[in-house]
Chain A
Amino acid sequence: MSSQQTPKTIGSLNFGLMDPEEYREMSATKVITADTYDDDGFPIDMGLMDPRLGVIDPGLECKTCGKHSGSCNGHFGHIELAAPVIHVGFNKLIRRLLRGTCRNCSRLVLDEHERDEFRDRLTRTRELQEDLNDVTKAAIRQARKKDTCPFCGEVQYDIQHEKPTTYYEVQQVLSSEFSQRIVAAMEGDEEEEDSQPVSPQELSDKTGIAASRVQEIISGEFRPREEDRKAIEKVLDVDLTEEDMNKLMPSDIRDWFEDIPDEDIEVLGMVAERSRPEWMILTVLPVPPVTARPSITLDNGQRSEDDLTHKLVDIIRINQRFMENREAGAPQLIIEDLWELLQYHVTTFMDNEISGTPPARHRSGRPLKTLSQRLKGKEGRFRGSLSGKRVNFSARTVISPDPTLSLNEVGVPDRVASEMTQTMNVNERNLEEAQRYVANGPEAHPGANYVKRPDGRRLKVTEKNCEELSEKVEPGWEVSRHLIDGDIIIFNRQPSLHRMSIMAHEVVVMPYKTFRLNTVVCPPYNADFDGDEMNMHALQNEEARAEARVLMRVQEQILSPRFGENIIGAIQDHISGTYLLTHENPHFNETQALDLLRATRIDELPEPSGTEDGTPYWTGRDLFSELLPDDMNLAFTSEAGDDVVIEDGQLLEGTIDDSAVGGFGGEIVDTTAKMYSKTRARILINEVASLAMRSIMHFGFSIGIDDESIPEAAEEHIQEAIDNAYERVQELIETYDRGELESLPGRTVDETLEMKIMQTLGKARDSAGDIAEDHFADDNPAVVMAESGARGSLLNLTQMAGCVGQQAVRGERINRGYEDRTLSHFKQDDLSADAHGFVEASYRSGLDPKEFFFHAMGGREGLVDTAVRTSKSGYLQRRLINALSELETQYDGTVRDTSDTIVQFEFGEDGTSPVRVSSDEENSVDVEGIADRVLDEEFQSAEQKQEFLGERAEPTNLSEHADDWWMAEGDD
């Protein structure tokens, strides 16, 4: 469409079949020549590239509309087909109609009563917006049951459909070997006792056919009539018929369909006005405009035609040959062959991926990309060109971490910033600023790439003209200036599985080539820095920028709608850092304390926590408390297991670790985000991260292989435990071999043995872990990380220091490999632990070759699982998104789809956003706490609140008995 036209609103769309007359009417030209261009390179008249079909070469004029290439959309032409052919897209519907209508009078083989019933069902399903196909299918099924037409009495035959476009009528006719069959039946079956031979006379008597006629029939001279055949069949109990397949030519079908009355198709859900069934049989083929199948000129000057043009050439050639042959009076066989060929070409023109038909190929052997291939699939018109479009003002590059950025920010490379632009509307107040940008030119950083004059002309700012141009800029101009610090952009990492995969960040322009982001936003993006790339989109209008800033900024996404708690929080080293800072509550002198807090907004130290040898000291918890909101009160249990108490913004006791400041529900972050503000939570997370980095650097934190070594005595101890387990496994095997092992309920003896062995070995690994653990100090880095929840678990530690344990494939010990054994190093049917993948060694001591191999087997399964899982969940995600994409919560709280059908009467039953209210099985919504908070906020003083709440009931003096009631009510 030309860009000058104003967009119009679509009132309604009608889908239906197209009348061949309409094709002819809208056709710009009839196409009769299969050639495209003549020797001079000009399109041939009435050829496939006829200039009336539109223009693609610049400079030429369209002969139909007079426009030039680019503004002319192209015009359809048409080919008159020599004989009708079936449209493949409708082969199912054609089959249905053939089966449902009479072969003689073409009426729907349903009586009035049945018609009414299906008409009713149609209106009902339409109202309920269900699938109309269900009803029409049922109607056809009903019609197919009829043997004869209720209107003309014609016998109906079954229709067989040979995909994709051949239809047969199946009739029962007298077999050619009827006489032999009768004779065989008259002689009777010798094997069966009660079957007696029948004489011709008897046959004549029983059937009422004259004896002489019977003789003639037996000799095969006379073909019995249908009644006689049936009589003979009944008497002799034989089948004298055979199936006769009568091929229906497209012209027959077209004649058949032409006679179907309008009101009959209505019962089948078709609107005759828009879709007459005979239009499914093509007599004229529309030729797509040249603009839809442009030819390309190759480097060597040769023209290369589009696949569709190639296909059309085939169609025209065959069409021509068909006509010539028919006029020359060629034998029927040849005609039919050509007809089939024409059908094949028209079929593959529309769809070249039909099962049962060989795809039409290019000379090189590549299958042609015809009409339906253009639309279908991921790269098709719908998914590839309409739902998914390429966009301007976007950038993609590798990401890397920068802990000095706020979590709201993103570091944008200067070369990206000077490519992406924002539009400045120049006015009196920003005139100087705008001139400065333009004066800087397109290469210096805060510069400009384009200016737009009030008359709409766009000028490119170049190094040469920038000075000059900047003088001309005045109010009313538009300047496309570079991205600068503080601009809002959208940042995204694929796969975009939840809404936090696309968030808005503020720009910080930086040198070098990568996007920089704060490490705390890694979890929502699921990003790491092993080569991940991310996309950035510069917003192009004020509404988008406002919306992004208010709704999409990272700090607005701290709480996840998935579980209603914070998804952003301290991670990994931050957790280790706060753990080291608060776990044993170490002391710091003034210099140290200031150093820890220097990356935060705290620039004055609080009162010292105490003095030691005359010098003041600050404790880690007191320093951490500086980051908390002043009036925060909290109590919870930390990951490390101690009770954390925060009163009036002071951390009184407890360790700050994953469950306090971590992502996925860290109490302090979560509470701050919900009770204070998103901004306060953002400040808190930023500062916690900074403080944690400073403190982990203060203490120093590293891990090496020696951190997992244990004393020799302990190693012996572990060996003992493992040997012990081996013995017990051996005992189990011996009991099994003696046949004395008792099976567990519901399991075989073999399964029981496997389970018990697995159990024993599992215990052995655990005890090895316990022994190893006893020898690790609390300040062991692996222990710190595991206990604080920063990274890793005690199981990882066990595997590093104690024993790696049983390797499993599909949840069982390793059983595959050679016949009756896993490796050739073992005896056959060896059930022992080491022959089935028990890894006795620890990662530190190193695995022996057999262990290594088993470990690799287990590891491989893990890799395969993740690969399979991601592809499966990706498809599941796609289907979910497609199913839910049109659901929308309305202003009245209901959830409806686009046709206004209600899906939920109240969003999520309670009409609340999971981000605003969180509850789970253990913690229901804290109504009392919320009520108290609201009351506290509502009244300035305690008196006012007391007045609102009313007085506490005074003790009654009515009776002694009332004292008990009053005492129970309160304790004062």
Chain B
Amino acid sequence: MVDVSQHELVPDHTVVDDEEIEDVLEEYDIKKTDLPKLQRLDPAAPDEASVGDVVRVTRDSRTTDQAVVYRLVVD
């Protein structure tokens, strides 16, 4: 199987810890379910991610260099 996470077009996906989740939720004043979603079986999802985790996606951006997005893992 191809490991898509190694592909240059696939941005970095990392599971974030509870503390950081809290910070993010507080910053935007949202519930966890208001985050954008990521499928558990998405090829880009990290292996250790399980349903209910939050994944941080850091992608290169032409205008901001790095754009950070948080996604809730769902099935």
Chain A interface (Cβ < 8 Å from any Cβ of B): 127-129, 892, 894, 896, 899-906, 908-910, 912, 917, 919, 924-925
User: B30 interface residue, CB < 8 Å from A?
Assistant: yes
Contact B62 A905 (CB under 8 A): no
- A902: chain B residues at CB < 8 Å are 28, 30, 34-36
| CB-CB nearest in chain A for B67 | A909
Residues of A contacting B34 in the complex (Cβ-Cβ under 8 angstroms): 896, 899-902
Given contacts A905-B70, A910-B64, contact A129 B28 (CB under 8 A): no
A909 x B61 contact (CB < 8 A)? yes
Binding site for A on B (CB under 8 A): 28, 30, 33-37, 61-64, 67-70, 74
- Distance from B9 Cβ to chain A, minimum over Cβ atoms (Å): 16
Residues of chain B within 8 A (CB-CB) of A908 are 63
Task: State A909–B62 Cα separation when bound (angstroms).
Answer: 9
**Cα-based distance from A129 to B36 in the complex (angstroms):** 12
B30 x A925 contact (CB < 8 A):
no
Q: Verify B61–A910 contact, CB threshold 8 A.
A: yes
Contacts of A903 in B (CB 8 A): 36
Contacts A901-B35, A905-B28, A924-B62 given; 15 further ones with Cβ under 8 A?
A894-B28, A900-B30, A900-B34, A902-B28, A902-B35, A903-B36, A904-B69, A905-B70, A906-B64, A909-B61, A909-B63, A910-B64, A910-B67, A912-B63, A925-B63
Q: How far is the CB of B25 from chain A (nearest CB, A)?
A: 11
Residue of B nearest to A924 (CB): B62
B59, closest chain A residue (CB): A909
A896 to B30, CA, bound (A): 11
Q: Which residues of B contact A904 (CB under 8 A)?
A: 69
Q: How far is the CB of B41 from chain A (nearest CB, A)?
A: 15
Chain B residues whose CB sits within 8 angstroms of the CB of A917 once the complex forms:
63
Are A128 and B28 in contact, with the CB atoms below 8 A? no
Most buried by A among B36, B61, B63, B70: B63
Residue pair A905, B69 in contact (C-beta under 8 Å): yes
A909's nearest neighbour on chain B, judged by CB, is B67
Could you say which residues of chain B place their CB within 8 Å of the CB of A925?
Answer: 63
Cα A899 to Cα B33 with chains together (Å): 11
Q: How far is the CB of B31 from chain A (nearest CB, A)?
A: 8
Q: Give the residues in chain A near B70, CB-CB below 8 Å.
A: 905
B69 with A919: CB separation less than 8 A: no
| B33 near A129: Cβ-Cβ < 8 Å | yes
Which residue of A is nearest B70, CB measured? A905
- Say how far A738's CB is from chain B's closest CB, in angstroms: 48
Q: Are B62 and A919 in contact (CB under 8 A)?
A: yes
Q: Quick one: given A902-B28, A902-B36, are A910 and B68 in contact (CB under 8 Å)? A: no
A-B contacts, 5 of them at CB < 8 A, read A127-B33, A894-B28, A901-B33, A909-B64, A917-B63
Chief secondary structure at chain A's binding surface: loop
| A925 CA / B64 CA spacing, docked (Å) | 11
Q: Hey, which chain A residues are within 8 Å of B35, CB to CB?
A: 901-902
The 9 lowest CB-CB distance pairs between A and B, nearest first, are A910-B63, A909-B67, A910-B64, A127-B33, A909-B61, A901-B34, A128-B33, A900-B34, A909-B64
Among A127, A892, A910, point to the contact of B28 (Cβ < 8 A): A892
- Which residues in B have their C-beta under 8 angstroms from that of A896? 34
Chain B residues within an 8 Å CB radius of A129: 33
Shortest beta-carbon distance from B20 to chain A in Å = 14
Nearest residue (CB) in B for A124 is: B74
Q: Considering only CB atoms, which chain B residue lies closest to A914 in the complex?
A: B63
CA distance A217 to B29 in the complex (A): 77
Closest to A121 in B: B75
Q: Distance (Å) between the CB of B43 and the closest chain A CB?
A: 21
Please name all residues of chain B whose beta carbon is closer than 8 Å to the beta carbon of A128 when the two chains form the complex: 33, 37, 74
B61 cross-chain contacts in A, Cβ below 8 A? 909-910
- A906 and B67 contact, CB distance less than 8 A: yes
Interface centre among A894, A903, A924, by most chain B C-beta atoms within 10 angstroms, is: A894
Give, as a whole number of angstroms, the nearest-CB distance from A807 to chain B.
41
Alpha-carbon gap, A892 to B24, bound state (A): 13
In the assembly, what is the distance between CA of A917 and CA of B70, in Å?
26
Complex alpha-carbon distance, A894 and B28, angstroms? 8
Nearest opposing residue in chain A for B24, CB measure: A905
Complexed CA–CA distance, A129 and B72 (Å): 13
Q: How far is the CA of A894 from the CA of B68 in the complex (A)?
A: 12
For the complex, give the distance between the alpha carbons of A912 and B64 in Å: 10
B63 contacts which chain A residues (CB < 8 A)?
908-910, 912, 917, 919, 925
Shortest C-beta distance, A916 to chain B (Å), equals 12
Interface centre among B37, B61, B62 (most CB of A within 10 A): B62
When chains A and B are docked, how far (Å) is the Cα of A496 from the Cα of B52? Answer: 43
**Roughly how many angstroms separate A892 CA and B26 CA in the complex, as a whole number?**
12
Q: How far is the CB of B13 from chain A (nearest CB, A)?
A: 15
Q: Hey, which chain A residues are within 8 Å of B68, CB to CB? A: 905
- Complex: A163 Cα to B28 Cα, angstroms: 49
Could you tell me the distance between the alpha carbons of A451 and B68 in the complex, rounded to whole angstroms? Answer: 59
| Cα distance A912–B63 in the bound complex, in angstroms | 9
Contacts of A901 in B (CB 8 A): 33-36
What is the bound-complex CA distance between A395 and B37, given in angstroms?
47
A510 to B11, CA, bound (A): 60
A127 to B36, CA, bound (A): 13
Task: Closest A residue to B61 by CB, please name it.
Answer: A909
List of A residues within 8 angstroms of B33 by Cβ:
127-129, 901
A707 to B39, CA, bound (A): 65
What's the nearest-Cβ distance from chain B to residue A890, in Å?
9
| Distance to closest chain A CB from B64 (angstroms) | 4
Complexed CA–CA distance, A910 and B33 (Å): 24
A447 to B13, CA, bound (A): 68
Q: Which residue of B lies closest to A903 (CB)?
A: B36
B61 CB → nearest A CB, Å? 5
Q: In the assembled complex, how far is the CB of residue A915 from the closest CB belonging to chain B, in whole angstroms?
A: 14
Docked complex Cα distance between A951 and B61 (Å): 36
Residues of B within 8 A of A910 (CB): 61, 63-64, 67
User: Smallest CB–CB gap between B53 and chain A, Å?
Assistant: 14
How many angstroms between the C-alpha atoms of A904 and B35 in the bound complex?
9
Q: Which residue from chain B places its CB closest to the CB of A899 in the assembled complex? A: B34
Whole-angstrom CA separation of A735 from B74 in the bound complex: 63
Question: Considering the chains assembled together, what is the distance between the CA atoms of A900 and B30 in angstroms?
Answer: 8
Task: Report the Cα distance A356→B66, complex, angstroms.
Answer: 57
Alpha-carbon distance A909/B34, docked complex (angstroms): 18
Assembled-state Cα–Cα distance A128/B74 (Å) = 9
Report the bound CA distance from A912 to B35 in whole Å.
Answer: 22
- B72 nearest CB neighbor, chain A only: A128
The CA of A919 and the CA of B34, in the complex, are separated in Å by 32
| Bound Cα distance A924, B64 (Å) | 11
Assembly CA distance A900 to B70 (angstroms): 15
CA distance A128 to B28 in the complex (A): 17
Smallest CB gap from A921: residue in B: B62
Q: Could you tell me the distance between the alpha carbons of A899 and B63 in the complex, rounded to whole angstroms?
A: 29
Chain B neighbourhood of A894, CB < 8 A: 28
In the complex, how many angstroms separate the beta carbon of A408 from the nearest chain B beta carbon?
32
